[in-house]
Amino acid sequence: MQVSVAHHPPNTAVLVLRGSLDIDTAPALKANLGRLVERPSPRVVVDVSGLDFCDSMGVGVLVTAHGRATERGGWVRLAAPSGFLRRLFDTLGLSDYLPMFPDVATALKED
């Protein structure tokens, strides 16, 4: 999995994921997201348009990061989830918990 981060004002980061998010790559995402959500009022958009797979470990990292961000007065949002990822979050009952947006621009401007 490839991870890149771009920072946008005010205090917002866009994390772009490419490849597979699974048991082998989840620790790298956890480390990257962990640094971002530890800031005061963190706002993180995770662009998942480039993910071709996500397992329960990956889902757990995203959900935990959103919870930590919320505790700090911020949020984590998913941008451009595939049909597979959307169905996975629906099946797990997480679609209402972790906000999903059609693209990064929409996720950035919604408040």
Q: pTM for this one? A: 0.93
The identity of residue 20, as a single letter, is S
SS3 track for the chain = CEEEEEEECCCEEEEEEEEEECCCCHHHHHHHHHHHHCCCCCEEEEEEEEEEEECHHHHHHHHHHHHHHHHCCCEEEEECCCHHHHHHHHHCCCCCCCCEECCHHHHHHCC
Q: Going residue by residue through the chain (111 aa), what tens digit of pLDDT does each one get? A: 888 888 877 779 999 999 999 999 999 999 999 999 999 899 999 999 999 999 999 999 999 999 999 999 999 999 999 999 999 999 999 999 999 999 999 999 876
